[in-house]
Amino acid sequence: MAQAKSILKVGLPLLLGVGLVWYSLSKISIEKLVQYFKDADYTWIILGVSLGMLSHISRAYRWLFMVEPLGFKPKFGNSLMAVYAAYLINFTIPRAGEVARATILKNYEELPFDKGFGTIVAERVADTIMLLTIVVLAFFLESEFIFDFFLQKFNITSLILGGSVLFLGVLVLFLFIRKGKSKFAIKVKGFVIGLLEGALSIFKIKKKWAFIGHTLFIWVMYVLMFYVTTFALPELQRIGLAAILIGFILSSFSIAATNGGVGSFPEAVVLAFSLFGIADDPSRAFGWIVWSTQTLVIIVIGGLSLLYLPIYNRKKTTL
Give the domain ranges of the chain.
28-318
Taking CA atoms, 57 is separated from 128, 214, 278, in Å, by 19, 10, 33
Distance spanning both ends of the chain, measured CA to CA: 45
Question: How does pLDDT run across 99-154, given as a tens digit for each residue?
Answer: 888 889 888 888 888 778 878 888 888 888 888 888 888 877 766 666 665 555 55
C-beta contacts of 253-259 below 8 A and 24+ residues apart: 256/94, 257/13, 257/16, 258/13, 258/14, 258/16, 258/17, 258/20, 259/13, 259/14, 259/17, 259/90, 259/91, 259/92, 259/93, 259/94
Which is more confident, 29 or 198? Answer: 29
Nearest CA to 244 among 260, 223, 221?
Answer: 223
* Residue 155 to residue 162: CA distance in whole angstroms: 11
Which is more confident, 174 or 55? Answer: 55
CB count in 10 Å sphere of residue 136: 10
Q: Which residues contact 209 (CB under 8 A, 6 or more apart)?
A: none
* Residue 90 to residue 75: CA distance in whole angstroms: 23
Residue 275 burial by Cβ neighbours in a 10 Å radius (0-12, 13-18, 19+):
middle
Question: How does pLDDT run across 169-222, given as a tens digit for each residue?
Answer: 666 666 666 666 666 666 666 656 655 555 555 666 777 888 889 999 999 999
Q: Which residues contact 302 (CB under 8 A, 6 or more apart)?
A: 84, 85, 86, 87, 88, 89
Categorize the per-residue pLDDT at 316 as very low, low, confident or very high, splitting at 50, 70 and 90: low
Q: What is the CA radius of gyration of the chain?
A: 21
